[in-house]
Homo-oligomer: A and B are copies of this chain.
Amino acid sequence: MPHTLIRIDDLEDPRIAAYRDIRERDLVGRKGRFVAEGKVVLNVLFSTARFAAESVLLRENRVPGMTHIIDRIPPEVPVYVASGDLMDAIAGFPMHRGVLAIGLRSEEEPAEALLARLPSEALVVALAGISDHDNMGAIFRNAAAFGADAVIMDRTCCDPLYRKAIRVSVGAALKVPFARGGSADAVADTLEAQGFQVLALSPSGKQAIEDVERAPRCALLLGAEGPGLPEALLSRLPSVRIPMRADFDSLNVATAAAIALHRLWRPPTL
């Protein structure tokens, strides 16, 4: 049955209140909601069961190209359609993409519970102090591309469900399960308690990534660009490095994650 589209003609329509002034709302929180943006991201939202959606808002000229995604939207989720001008006025800035949805956050699972239900062979990304939403999104994108089973963050990491992080992740933040632990130390402890080898990635790491023998349960621990991982963690965990030019040993943290995950991932055998 085709989804009924609901025409919105009034900026003050209470049904589209959640879309109003999107940028400002990113800063003040959204009470259990998040904003998904763009066709690719909505495709992930509605093709995985991880998060429910509250509503969808489309610019009218985008509707024809969205039919295969609209077909996947559950019937109880309203799909609103507005003109380009009205959509820009609602969002508070030019919404070139014209494809938005409000998602509903689920209760965050404790890190222990998430790790406990992963298979005996699993690859996890662990993050300490990643505060940049672009980096967070890119890390999720790379985690999804290389089959990571989960992302575990320390308490200082930024929100992967921030609008820009979701967009940069091309939807991976809505796909790869994540959980939050306490300090970076506590995250490493939790991983080890769940039988994970925790590899701390650092330019000063002892072993080159190509020489690492990974355990069936393996976690790659990344710190923020610049400060990197705390010295205490680096000294107590096995540490790995990506060999680089001595006079230009500089990689973006998400790029470093991609290279290490590419090395650590074991593609499923057919």
Contacts and interface: CB of A to CB of B under 8 A. Distances in A.
Contacts of A245: 144-147
A246 to B, nearest CB: 9
A121 B172 CA distance: 39
A220 to B, nearest CB: 14
A61 interface: no
B141 A250 contact: yes
Interface string A242-257: 1111001111101100
Contacts of A79: none
Interface in A228-270: 242-245, 248-252, 254-255, 258-259, 262, 267
Given A145-B248, A249-B145, A242 B262 contact: yes
Interface string A123-167: 000000000000000100110111100000000000000000000
Interface in A210-238: none
A59 interface: no
A170 interface: yes
Q: How many monomers of this protein are in the complex?
A: 2
B138 A175 contact: no
B250 A170 contact: yes
Given A243-B267, A267-B243, A175 B248 contact: yes
A249 to B, nearest CB: 7
Nearest to A47: B247
Given A245-B146, A267-B243, A141 B252 contact: yes
Nearest to A262: B259
A243 B145 CA distance: 9
A134 to B, nearest CB: 9
Nearest to A148: B245
A145 B250 CA distance: 6
A226 B163 CA distance: 22
A254 B145 CA distance: 14
Given A142-B255, A262-B262, 5 more contacts: A142-B251, A144-B245, A145-B245, A147-B245, A175-B248
* Nearest 6 interchain pairs by C-beta: A144-B248, A145-B244, A255-B258, A147-B245, A259-B262, A255-B255
23 contacts: A138-B255, A141-B251, A142-B255, A144-B250, A145-B245, A145-B248, A145-B250, A145-B251, A146-B244, A146-B245, A170-B250, A172-B248, A242-B262, A243-B267, A251-B258, A254-B255, A255-B255, A255-B258, A258-B258, A258-B259, A259-B259, A259-B262, A262-B262
